A and B are shown apart, each in its own frame.
Chain A
Amino acid sequence: DTEVTQTPKHLVMGMTNKKSLKCEQHMGHRAMYWYKQKAKKPPELMFVYSYEKLSINESVPSRFSPECPNSSLLNLHLHALQPEDSALYLCASSQAELAIGELFFGEGSRLTVL
């Protein structure tokens, strides 16, 4: 079982809606990540939080807004999305951003934008 928990597992939203994806880990990891994955493609990095501070934004459109309320939680706020934003959104964590090691992925939130 994954130790990174993502909710909801599925989300359908219209282009004018505001919704949020949530991620939680209790492994004491200090780095947390959002990835986007399209069908039959590898994960693409979106954001990295290190010690609860945003350290990397891979030029993601502002309609995606990340938030890290504490070291165990990571949110992704969604607003005015486009149909092409439909994808599997994966949260991941690791012990620390600057230490090579395992990325622990959640099962993802499958987003459909109508």
Chain B
Amino acid sequence: QQQVKQSPQSLIVQKGGISIINCAYENTAFDYFPWYQQFPGKGPALLIAIRPDVSEKKEGRFTISFNKSAKQFSLHIMDSQPGDSATYFCAAGSGGSNYKLTFGKGTLLTVNP
């Protein structure tokens, strides 16, 4: 099964709070887990990505946590800002091929001022 299940579908957070988005996968062949951020009227842009040989990757306020045994990974946005309001897609790829990226259904994040 190639699915990537993403939750929640939508999320409202106060400015300064922590936003957490979760994804789960079934295919153990996946070996690349990117998160894309998409603002209205724009194309998706890579936010951060992780390979399964590490359990956590941090870039600024954005952190991916990866649990290989549970086949889950999550995005944490610390000190969330109104400018972070966007749709976030997790994805998973395998086989050394970009085109096999399987996207989650997306999470609409709203950060209130």
Q: Which residues of A contact B (CB under 8 A)?
A: 2, 4, 31, 33, 40-43, 45, 48, 55-56, 90, 92, 94, 97-108
Contact = CB atoms under 8 A, between A and B. Distances in A.
A105 B96 CA distance: 19
Nearest to A4: B43
Contact of A94 (B89, B98, B103, B108): B98
Interface residues of B, number: 24
Contact of B31 (A40, A94, A98, A100): A100
B32 interface: yes
Interface string B98-112: 110101111010000
Contacts of B101: 45, 103
* Secondary structure dominating the interface of B: strand
Contacts of B32: 100
Interface of B: 31-32, 34, 36, 41-46, 49, 87, 89, 93, 96-99, 101, 103-106, 108
Top 5 A-B residue pairs of the complex, sorted by shortest distance between their CB atoms: A105-B43, A42-B103, A100-B32, A48-B99, A102-B46
A45 B103 CA distance: 10
Contacts of A99: 96, 98
27 contacts: A2-B45, A33-B98, A33-B99, A40-B106, A40-B108, A42-B89, A42-B105, A43-B89, A48-B99, A97-B97, A97-B98, A98-B97, A99-B96, A100-B93, A100-B97, A100-B98, A101-B98, A102-B34, A103-B101, A105-B36, A105-B43, A105-B44, A105-B45, A107-B41, A107-B42, A108-B42, A108-B43
Contacts of A97: 97-99
